[in-house]
Structure 1
Amino acid sequence: MTGVWLGIETTTSTGGVAVMKNGLLLAEECFPVRATHSEKVLPGVARLLKQAEVMPEEIAGIAVSAGPGSYTGLRIGIATAQGLSTGWGIGAVSVETLRVLASSVTADCPVLSCITARSDEVYAAVYENSSFGAVEIVPPGVYTASSIEKRIAEFDKIVAVGSGRNAISFSDKVIKTDPLWDTPRPSIVALLGSLQVELSGFDEPPAPVYLRGFNEKVSSNVP
């Protein structure tokens, strides 16, 4: 990571913002569960920039968590990132929330990242960690508990992270992380966004990841 980056996370019931510089965390704040993101995110950005003694013109880029997650939260986060990007005249990128979760943990085996969706379904994907963050090895999708269990059966062991892991019956080979990491962190959003730009630049504007309609495709690929 080079320069100052602003990270925005609004995809779950706990949102947050973070300011990082050259890979080091300057300030991070997570919002109370009961507070709405629309009431907290912009004041949070202003407060953290003041705390970190950073001016908007010093910021190299903005990274926002793109989902899947709360539809309302996604729209608020993306709109905020786009508005700040336009107002400050700097680039912005979006980072998949499942990748943010997987990149939060250090593991020598694959990482199952999963977020509660609805009923018995979860948003999930499997990643391997690398120097550029988590690399996808099982694609993101809407999975039932039974279908994701079949998808991870090939792995000797796997680390599970995210709110959706509680909906799945795990075998002994699944390692559960500290619940602290079940919420995506805005500092990881900022870090991954900066790495993404180092690889491909500000190639696409921030866009939400909904994964709607993906569950039928996933189910058809599960034996």
Structure 2
Amino acid sequence: MKVLAIDTSNYVLGVAVLDGDQVIGEYITNLKKNHSVRAMPAIDALLKDCDVKPKDISKIVVAKGPGSYTGVRIGVTLAKTLAWTLNIPIVGISSLEVLAASTGRYFQGVVSPLFDARRGQIYTGLYQYKRGLIETVKNDQLIQSQDWAHQLVSLESPILFVGNDLSIHRSIIEPILKEKFIFAEITEHNPRPSELALLGRDREGEEVHSFVPNYIRLAEAEAKWLEENKN
């Protein structure tokens, strides 16, 4: 089975091809550039380099959010279009779970992946590997970084924080958690599309037309419209 994974949910653009138990190709950039322009050429180039034709793909796995509203929408739209065109299953994986899985497999504790959500807020959750499988300890959520750190103080296990936006919130998290936390190295902050492919490889596919992203919160324009028209 050949699996194509797509992640455009944040600045990182990642695509990968998994063939059974082997990663045969992977492409990652961490640039503030337009994913809508770059994603499809990246997929096309990777498939050509791996000598894989679209008809060879058995499943599409996509990072379904949370993250950048526009980024999530681009990845999900692209994945749904490919899945529908090729008549193959689509699987959505939490963007935070992908980031946690990329670093936490051999960490003896819990992993808190995070993306900045502005105004002191973060998208985050809590994950842990048990018996070789990643499990959700706390569901993905939108929360103030300070409130999140206070929630984690009572945990007995060490906490690994990972994500390219850690530097924005480090000064808030560090004084609260003190010696209980570990920050991942800079080489570990990019979610791996090959990890995304592996997470989705054995999960059941979803119906392509009803598949939706997980933004967690409304886009700012939508929230403003609802507030103005709440009656």
TM normalised by structure 2 equals 0.84
Percentage of matched positions with identical amino acids: 29
Q: Aligned partners of 2:77, 2:154: CA distance in 1, in Å?
A: 39
Q: Is the 8 A contact 2:90 2:206 kept in 1?
A: no
Q: Aligned with 2:118: secondary structure?
A: coil
Residues 145 and 203 of structure 1, relative CA distance in 2, 3 Å threshold? same
Residues 1:202 and 2:205 aligned together: yes
Deviation at 1:194, TM superposition (A): 0.9
Number of the residue aligned with 1:48: 46
Q: 1:180 aligns with which of 179, 183, 187?
A: 187
Compare 68-77 and 48-57 and name the one that shifted more. 48-57
The structure that has the greater radius of gyration is 2
Q: How many residue pairs were aligned?
A: 207
Q: Is residue 2:173 matched to residue 1:169?
A: yes
Q: 1:34 to 1:212 in 2, by over 3 A?
A: closer
- Corresponding position of 2:159: 158
1:92 Cα shift?
Answer: 0.9
Cα deviation code 1:101-141 (max 9, x no counterpart): 11011311111111111121110101111456421111211
Q: Is the 8 A contact 2:30 2:190 kept in 1?
A: no
1:140 counterpart letter in structure 2 = D
- CA separation of 1:54 and 1:130: change in aligned 2, threshold 3 A: farther
Q: In 2, distance between residues paired with 1:81 and 1:176?
A: 32
Match of 2:19 in 1: 21
Cα RMSD after superposing both structures:
1.7
Structure 1: any 5+ residue segments left out of the alignment? 214-223
> Which consecutive residues of structure 2, in runs of 5 or more, have no partner in the other structure?
219-231
1:203 deviates by: 3.5
Q: Give the partner amino acid of 2:67.
A: G
Letter in 1 for 2:217: R
Is this contact kept in 1: 2:66–2:95, CA < 8 A? yes
Query: Secondary structure in 1 aligned to 2:199?
Result: helix
1:193 aligns with 2:200: yes
Q: Does 1:101 align with 2:99?
A: yes
- 1:132–1:192 CA contact under 8 A, matched in 2: no
SS at 2:100 equivalent? helix
Q: Give the TM-score of the pair, scaled to structure 1.
A: 0.87
Residue aligned with 2:146, SS: helix
Which residue number corresponds to residue 217 of structure 1?
A: none
